A = this chain, B = another copy of it.
Amino acid sequence: MAVGVTDMPEMYAVKGIRLGTSNAGIKQTERDDVLLMEMVMGGTAAAVFTRNAFCAAPVLVAREHLNANARWLLVNSGNANAGTGDQGMLDARASCAQVAQVADGVAQQVLPFSTGVIGENLPMDKLLPAVSEAFAALAEDNWTQAAIAIMTTDTFAKGASCKFELHGETVTITGMSKGAGMIQPNMATMLGFIATDVKMEQSLLQQCLQQAVEKSFNRITVDSDTSTNDACVLLASGQTQTEITAGSIELQSFQQQLDKLCYQLAEAIVRDGEGATKLIRIKVEQALDSEEAVAVGKTIAHSPLVKTAFFASDPNWGRILAAVGRAPIDNIQMEAIKIYLDDVCIVEHGGRASSYTEQAGQAVMNQQEISVRVVLGRGEVSEDVLTCDFSYDYVRINAEYRT
């Protein structure tokens, strides 16, 4: 049911980063469900996490371990280790200890991540042996297997990779993401793991990641539900000669490439939105500030009526207009607003545009990828929000999940 191109791109290895996967049989018996990532000594790690107040045990542990020279990421799919109370914390810590033992490190250097069903304890008897197997499988060219191992209801593995020149050296960024439902990342994302071989100090790396995430993972929504386990990590293995420093031209180039890569990974999540048949790019223009632009975009993106109309390929512009009208914005003047489906103006002066024809609207709606452009006429700020439609299959997937 995914929308558009879903092939895995070529995933360039990143110097100083190795990945290994194994099967713990948590929910999957056919494919691997455990991933271990290892970074060489001397690299730096940045991460952002869910703002859901009810966050999972591994999120709490990963946040605590982040500033202790993290070198390993341990990820399991099939079980979120969320809502598991004290036992959940013990299990998350025991997972880290197991990595430390097999890898000859310390538990505080391990960031644990879990994704899957909420409210069940991790099957530690299965997970711990699988950690050793994943360690034995570590290699630099395992990115695609890794992206597959972290999937849950995803229908395809999600990756992005790029190489570019920086200060005379070739630099690589490669990353993967997962997610299809419970998607409205809030200052974080579903799971995203990105690595690069550049050398950068931790606080600067953290800034780079936050900026990239803000305009990518934080601008997507499948179903308005923010997960308890969202996390996005950026590892910099420091294998290049030159360090990227604050204010440098290299930093700008790096940020640009990272932004683009994060956007690709975020877009892939929406393409794989549970039950999705269409990808909707909502552009809100001429807003007073970024906050109101995103608020209008998300009100449209969350409207079940708008989303079912897209599923039906119905140019029901009244539902879009009604959503804009209930967005949490003060003193909105509906008469000033213009709304476009691709290049077709559908609304102006508070009603259907005089130039609009049902035929033109229908032609846009028949496409798999559609842009909705809302021009507020209030200011200068634009923001994008990405979402998908709402289909029978969303209901089926979420009614059947767990059974």
Complex Cα–Cα for A168 and B402 (A): 60
**What's the least CB distance linking A72 to chain B, in Å?**
26
Question: Number of A residues whose C-beta is below 8 Å from B?
Answer: 65
Q: Which residue of B lies closest to A324 (CB)?
A: B54
* CB proximity to B under 8 Å, residues A312-363: 312, 314, 316-319, 321-327, 329, 332, 334, 347, 349-352
Q: Does A396 contact B (CB under 8 A)?
A: yes
Q: Which residue of B lies closest to A311 (CB)?
A: B399
Are the CB atoms of A318 and B400 closer together than 8 Å?
A: no
**A351 and B84 contact, Cβ closer than 8 Å, known pairs A225-B326, A226-B326, A334-B54:** yes
Residues of B within 8 A of A305 (CB): 181-182, 223, 225, 398
Contacting A351 at CB < 8 Å: which of B119, B318, B350, B390? B119
Q: Does A364 contact B (CB under 8 A)?
A: no
**What's the least CB distance linking A71 to chain B, in Å?**
29
Q: Which residue of B lies closest to A326 (CB)?
A: B226
**What's the least CB distance linking A225 to chain B, in Å?**
5
**What's the least CB distance linking A188 to chain B, in Å?**
12
Residues of B within 8 A of A329 (CB): 53
* CB proximity to B under 8 Å, residues A210-236: 223-228
Contacting A321 at CB < 8 Å: which of B54, B316, B332, B392? B54
* CB proximity to B under 8 Å, residues A356-403: 390-392, 394-396, 398-400, 402-403
Q: Does A144 contact B (CB under 8 A)?
A: no
**A322 and B118 contact, Cβ closer than 8 Å, known pairs A224-B303, A304-B223:** yes
**A314 and B223 contact, Cβ closer than 8 Å, known pairs A83-B351, A350-B54:** no
Q: Does A106 contact B (CB under 8 A)?
A: no
Complex Cα–Cα for A117 and B309 (A): 13
Residues of B within 8 A of A42 (CB): none
Are the CB atoms of A118 and B85 closer together than 8 Å?
A: no
Complex Cα–Cα for A402 and B224 (A): 26
**What's the least CB distance linking A76 to chain B, in Å?**
16
Residues of B within 8 A of A332 (CB): 53
Residues of B within 8 A of A52 (CB): 322, 325-326
Query: Among A182, A324, A329, which residue has the most Cβ atoms of chain B within 10 A?
Result: A182
Complex Cα–Cα for A225 and B396 (A): 22
Residues of B within 8 A of A36 (CB): none
Residues of B within 8 A of A199 (CB): none
Q: Does A186 contact B (CB under 8 A)?
A: yes
Report the 4 A-B pairs with minimum CB-CB distance, sorted nearest first. A118-B318, A54-B325, A85-B351, A312-B399
Q: List 26 A-B contacts (CB under 8 A).
A: A52-B322, A52-B326, A53-B332, A54-B324, A54-B350, A83-B318, A83-B321, A83-B352, A84-B352, A118-B321, A119-B317, A184-B326, A223-B303, A223-B305, A225-B322, A226-B325, A226-B326, A304-B398, A305-B398, A309-B398, A309-B399, A311-B399, A312-B399, A314-B402, A392-B396, A394-B395
Beyond known contacts A84-B351, A85-B349, A304-B394: 18 more, CB 8 A cutoff: A52-B325, A54-B324, A54-B326, A54-B350, A83-B318, A118-B318, A119-B321, A224-B302, A225-B326, A226-B322, A304-B304, A308-B399, A312-B399, A312-B403, A391-B395, A392-B392, A392-B395, A392-B396
Q: Footprint of B on A, CB under 8 Å?
A: 51-55, 80, 82-88, 117-119, 181-182, 184, 186, 223-228, 302-305, 308-309, 311-312, 314, 316-319, 321-327, 329, 332, 334, 347, 349-352, 390-392, 394-396, 398-400, 402-403
